[in-house]
Amino acid sequence: MADGAQIAVSMRDISKSFGDVLALDGVSLELREGEIRALVGENGAGKTTLMNILYGMYRADSGTISIRGAEVGADWSPRKAIQAGIGMIHQHFSLIPPYTVLENVVMPHLTWGQVAPGWSQHRQKLEELIAAYGFSLDLDDRVEDIPVGQQQETEILKMLYQGATILILDEPTAVLTPQQIDGLLELLVRLRGEGHSVVLITHKLKEAMAVADRITVCRAGHVIDTVERAGTSLEDVAGMMVSHTWVQRREYDLPVPGSDVALEVRDLVTAMVEGERAVHGMSFEMRSGEILGIAGVSGNGQTELAEALVGQRKAVRGRIVLGGKDATRWSISRRADAGLGSIPESREIYGCVGDMTLAENLVYDRCDKAPFSRLGVLNRRAIQDNAGEAIQEFDVRTPSAAVPVCTLSGGNQQKVVLARVLSGGAKVVLASQPTRGLDFAATEFVREQLVAAAQKGVGVLLISSDLEELLALSHRMLIMYRGRVVGELARGEFDVSRIGLLMAGQTDGSAASCASTATVGAGKEDRT
């Protein structure tokens, strides 16, 4: 990238506070025309906040923004950002599930009170775009009926149709198969070649090193440095993120699983979801001290499996056996009392109660039991002592145990969930997406804790969309597609290409099948 390249975006001395928390402190960033810029940093570093300000979702407390030399005004908003050619895909898609792909893409172009949107003209232009970029989309499909890879295609199509030339993608590969990730990165390179400027917010440094022209490292609300990708290394970037030397991830010391069956699932079928069985005849066994990985593209029954195991979703057929006892009809609390601990995929919704204190969150599932209460009266001293021990053991970064848990970063909230589950005497731990959205330091901590639990004889069912995580931690791996197990691999049989094909619903393993999935998103055969 030539130094004389024109500047697409200039952000100068941007500061932003949320209450007493200083999220950004005088941050400056310049994005060139026709470059891919990776924005990396630990949780809470300010990456997404900075881009939300650029997109108009937040208003900076101070600082200036210029788009191609023109300074934006105080009324900067997402609508004005779109008009200026900026598009943003958030970590959680902003699509309306019951609406079709066509409706989701066209709606931002409609004006209030418009009677005739001109669907046929929109359809023709969109079909040309779909063909030009090789998207696997049917404009008449409802978004809720298509897999996550195609939902992401819809978001990208919407940005391109809006005329966006500055594209912001926030953790875009979190729920994609390896083939879909490769296809997305190839698309970003193509868009750069067509003159688009791309900001890639990511925790996955290998992806940043694969496609970025420059990498900007954020830490604690500051920009530490911006470096040319060609002149740096993954270790250098990671070291800047955490202000200490980064050590290459070690091989985990996985224990030899025991002979006892900790969890058994037989012919499990769950209640209908949108007219289909999300889990349809699933069977497996997990032994004590084993980490059993569940792989699959998001939306293929993993969430419903977890809900059925913990007792949130009804099993209409089959058996769930916990520690040798049939727990199929047990309540959530009875399963917990029998030793089932759950790390839910959404820590904000199901893992923590935001307005409760850290100390209260650590015991809310057993506050009616000794030593935390007696005769219905809470033992505040025991609750505080427990919190102090957990904060130290799980390295929770917090001012005190009395702060509301919603004030903690995502990584520290997850440590609170871990502490509650792993300190509660669990014999089986159901870990759903345990490191989603965490930086690599917090990710490493969570993974080490799961391995440590297995070393103590705890069976760990690891449901994750991060294939690297499953490869690193699992003794065995089951691959789910449309609510069924379509493959089972022992650790010595792990193969990324084969797993990716199984995740996409292709079981023949042929080279042709592999080629058919190596595009952005999955094809028709990938639908759930």
pLDDT of 55 strictly over 70: yes
Among 194, 216, 242, give the residue marking a domain's end. Answer: 242
Domain boundary among 369, 396, 424: 424
Q: Are residues 101 and 200 in the same domain?
A: yes
Does some domain include residue 483? yes
344 located within any domain? no
**pLDDT range class, residue 361, cuts 50, 70, 90:** very high
Average pLDDT over residues 486-508: 84
The domain spanning residue 198 has which CATH number? Answer: 3.40.50.300
Is residue 142 one of the residues assigned to a domain? Answer: yes
- Clarify whether residues 127 and 23 are in a common domain: yes
- Could you tell me the residue range of the domain that residue 323 belongs to? 249-339+426-528
The mean of the pLDDT values for the chain is: 87
* pLDDT band at residue 437 under the 50/70/90 scheme: confident
pLDDT (tens digit, 9 = 90+) per residue, 458-474? Answer: 999 999 988 889 999 99
What are the helix (H) ranges across 371-463?
380-393, 410-422, 440-455
Confirm whether 1 is domain-assigned. Answer: no
Which of 185, 208, 242 marks a domain boundary? 242
Same domain, 365 and 467: no
pLDDT, tens digit, 9 for 90 and up, residues 167-202: 999 988 876 777 888 889 999 999 999 999 999 998
Whether residue 192 sits in one domain with residue 97: yes
Do 99 and 86 share a structural domain?
Answer: yes
Burial of 275 (0-12, 13-18, 19+ CB in 10 A): exposed
- Give yes or no: residues 366 and 480 share one domain: no
Six token digits for residue 173: 């590969």
Same domain, 481 and 357: no
At residue 357, the pLDDT reads 93
The pLDDT value given to residue 485: 93
pLDDT score, position 525: 31
Are both 81 and 218 inside the same structural domain? yes
**From residue 136, how far is each of 63, 152, 206 by CA, in Å?**
42, 11, 26
Same domain, 420 and 431: no
Q: What is the pLDDT of residue 87?
A: 95
Closest CA to 270 of 326, 298, 310, 325: 310
For position 507, what pLDDT does the model report? 66
Across 305-327, average pLDDT: 94
Is 89 inside a domain boundary?
yes
In terms of DSSP H, where are the helices of 255-406? 302-310, 332-337, 358-361, 380-393
For the cut 80, the answer to whether the pLDDT of residue 4 exceeds it is: no
Is 347 a domain residue?
Answer: no
Q: Are residues 418 and 430 in the same domain?
A: no
Residue 346 covered by a domain: no
464: tokens are: 């994750």
Assess whether 81 and 208 both reside in one domain: yes
- DSSP line for 148-197: HHHHHHHHHHHHHHTT-SEEEEESTTTT--HHHHHHHHHHHHHHHHTT-E
Residue 413, token pair as written in the block: 């909230």
Average pLDDT over residues 323-343: 94
pLDDT of amino acid 5:
73
What pTM was computed for the model?
Answer: 0.67
Q: Which pLDDT tens digit goes with each residue over 228-269?
A: 999 998 888 877 876 544 445 568 899 999 999 999 999 999
pLDDT of 426 over the 70 cut: yes
In a shared domain, residues 326 and 291: yes
Query: Is 345 a domain residue?
Result: no
pLDDT value of residue 206: 86
Burial 39-57 (b: 16+ CB within 10 A, else e): bbbbbbbbbbbbbbbbbbb
> Total structural domains in the chain?
3
